[in-house]
Structure 1
């Protein structure tokens, strides 16, 4: 299969490309256009044909401008019709209600979370196509809606008459490798949208990964070192809770992760079953190939809790510090504290032993240093925020030195070297 964004999934046939929803190769005659930023939203935020900044040129850094209505990508007609009649229709209703300062039913919140998944992953695929990346994505939008822990932090200013939309947080390796989060501004609405394996489970009182390890024979597959849970939903969601804003979230897990009776009991028990949005049926082996979502979690009533009644209405508040900077800062902090630590730094062999690798170490360092630079760009720098980054960089450095010493048959002379970041002048 050829890379997404390059015409042709069939050698020598330039008339084919891949559907952004399902990945199916579609010919030019059967192809439709999927606007990642839908036309209804473009019209609601101004002239749909106005020029907008799509991104920064990766070489020159210059703004890449184009008419908003031309930011579209290939889709097969069945997928485009299906998403248009269901997800987009429901998302439009939810967003219009938010812009009007109205509440949403819990059922509408589920659709909003799905739509944010669709936009976030769609943007990632779109940028891959624009950049003509040298790798083929292993999934499309269909395979990434509602399968990971997800959270949206939403602020609505009923007195704001601003028109327009914008994004933030897409220019970093964490987004480019995992689509983990973005900041989305729609008129008077600010949204922090994040999704990553096990990211909020610890706060939701569910089993959670404390650390992720890459399999030595297949580094793209990961196994989790599970943390201890008391199944109590926490009230301190730290950077996910911007004072005044409203949080909606869901935890999820894959049944295939239950490798034995012990792990099955960890996920399926008297504490977890009442929290499932839908009670799963396990009648045959194929039933294990499903993701199970929790009920909606929100702090709309003043405390974080699960919402079983799908008709219950959720009212969205106004953040005390309702600025783009506040939301972008919260996004990068979430990347730093809850996404980056779940990026594997070690491999695990079939016999259970672990080892550091230069590749994983360098990937981790690249992401952490890039995050540090992003914080500097938005004018944020403090020891409390970056102390953990420096500590982790030191661990990676020591692991690299140990690996190098073992490879060379000698111990590194200074395995406790300290890395120091200089604060901006």
Structure 2
């Protein structure tokens, strides 16, 4: 939390003058340093100045290595102080308890999920700064904490005496476009942290999106096609469970989505109200512009349930397969099964008409191919399991060919539809 000096350079100095937390422009003399991987965590895992692999270069594939303590970015002093006294303070206490195998109170788990949001989004912003990508982020850390469904799969091995930290799952377009998930190892703790619109709602017995569509007049905004729910908390979370590990999760929704009686009744009724962590007071129209979170869900006692009392204790187990590879495999499987399908493939007009676009098709292809290649790299490629991925890619290629033919006034070659299958089978 030291104030940045005038000499030397930081990871975020070149062309960067906005607070990583709130986005406010900050002059050099007023900047402070925000370590996305906090200094207290660097000290707890070894020499804070040791060189670490930050990531793989997205173009060359080479390891990006630098002293851990230099991985910091500009922040305004008020934000840095606020986060240091709240989220960082609570996260440090929680992680120190986990190091020695202690349980956490439910109230601590909320802070821990907030901290994982902060680290995940902070890494995303940081990588974009390092890559000097020419884009203006539409949000900062402040605007992405606790607003989407989120889940953490946590394994603690009290007999592991090794020190160090590492993270993975960040070198793909799923993360680089949506900050959807990461693997994080901290000494004897392994964590999968995932967050995405409607990611776990169906399992938590809440209204859930079966599909997201991009708005034609604003592709960055999405509309959800809702699935049917019986409001029952499911017990079959097998895709999100690693035997022996503990799951903590929380869903949320934007109150302004309740635009009519039907949607209001879908989200707010006798089944959902008892699950809300806190129901906001509605006194003016502006009050609708906020997110409502449910209470914590966990499987700490052998079955999934909502925790009504913030003082209840959650004990964290050790995954049967506690290897880094096992966590990375589960992360990519979750990307494939639950994150990728919620990436919009079509746009919707005001009259309800749906249509494909070259941009959405190309984004979907890029993410799908990257995931498929990751599976091959980690040795779990299976033609039977991934056949549907290839088929879906072929459909997207055909749609792309049709769009291109209409735009250019000529028909594309039939070979494009087979291109991805040939690529993946080489």
TM over 0.5: yes
Residues 261-270 or 392-401, more deviating: 392-401
Residues 255-264 or 87-96, more deviating: 255-264
Distance across 1 between alignment mates of 2:210 and 2:248: 23
Distance change in 2, residues 1:196/1:384 (3 Å): farther
Distance across 2 between alignment mates of 1:313 and 1:25: 41
Distance across 1 between alignment mates of 2:58 and 2:206: 40
Secondary structure (helix, strand or coil) at the match of 1:182 reads strand
Q: Per-residue deviation at 1:351?
A: 1.1
Preserved CA contact (<8 Å) 2:13 2:73: no
Q: Per-residue deviation at 1:407?
A: 5.2
Preserved CA contact (<8 Å) 2:248 2:298: yes
Q: Normalising by the residue count of structure 2, what TM-score does the alignment of the two structures yield?
A: 0.93
Check if 1:164 corresponds to 2:164. Answer: yes
Q: Per-residue deviation at 1:285?
A: 0.5
Match of residue 4 from structure 2: none
Residues 40-49 or 62-71, more deviating: 62-71
- Alignment deviations for residues 110-153 of structure 1 (CA, whole Å, 9 cap, x no partner): 00000000000001111111111110111110000000000000
Distance change in 2, residues 1:424/1:186 (3 Å): farther
Distance across 2 between alignment mates of 1:416 and 1:6: 43
Q: Per-residue deviation at 1:5?
A: 4.9
Preserved CA contact (<8 Å) 2:58 2:171: no
Count of matched residue pairs: 415
Match of residue 25 from structure 1: 25
Match of residue 400 from structure 1: 400
Distance across 2 between alignment mates of 1:21 and 1:159: 36
Match of residue 67 from structure 2: 67
Check if 1:357 corresponds to 2:386. Answer: no
Distance across 1 between alignment mates of 2:13 and 2:365: 31
RMSD of Structure 2 on Structure 1 (CA): 2.1
- Alignment deviations for residues 168-215 of structure 1 (CA, whole Å, 9 cap, x no partner): 000001100000000000000000000000010011110001001001
Distance across 2 between alignment mates of 1:297 and 1:328: 23
Check if 1:310 corresponds to 2:337. Answer: no
Match of residue 92 from structure 1: 92
Preserved CA contact (<8 Å) 1:401 1:415: no
Secondary structure (helix, strand or coil) at the match of 2:26 reads strand
Distance across 2 between alignment mates of 1:351 and 1:274: 36
Match of residue 133 from structure 2: 133
Distance change in 2, residues 1:63/1:402 (3 Å): closer
Distance across 1 between alignment mates of 2:70 and 2:249: 32
Distance across 1 between alignment mates of 2:411 and 2:232: 45
Preserved CA contact (<8 Å) 2:183 2:193: yes
Secondary structure (helix, strand or coil) at the match of 1:225 reads strand
Preserved CA contact (<8 Å) 1:174 1:367: yes
Match of residue 56 from structure 2: 56
Distance change in 2, residues 1:5/1:34 (3 Å): closer
Q: Per-residue deviation at 1:65?
A: 1.3
Distance across 2 between alignment mates of 1:166 and 1:200: 26
Match of residue 173 from structure 1: 173
Q: Normalising by the residue count of structure 1, what TM-score does the alignment of the two structures yield?
A: 0.93
Check if 1:297 corresponds to 2:297. Answer: yes
Distance across 2 between alignment mates of 1:413 and 1:373: 25
For structure 1, the 5+ residue unaligned runs are 9-15
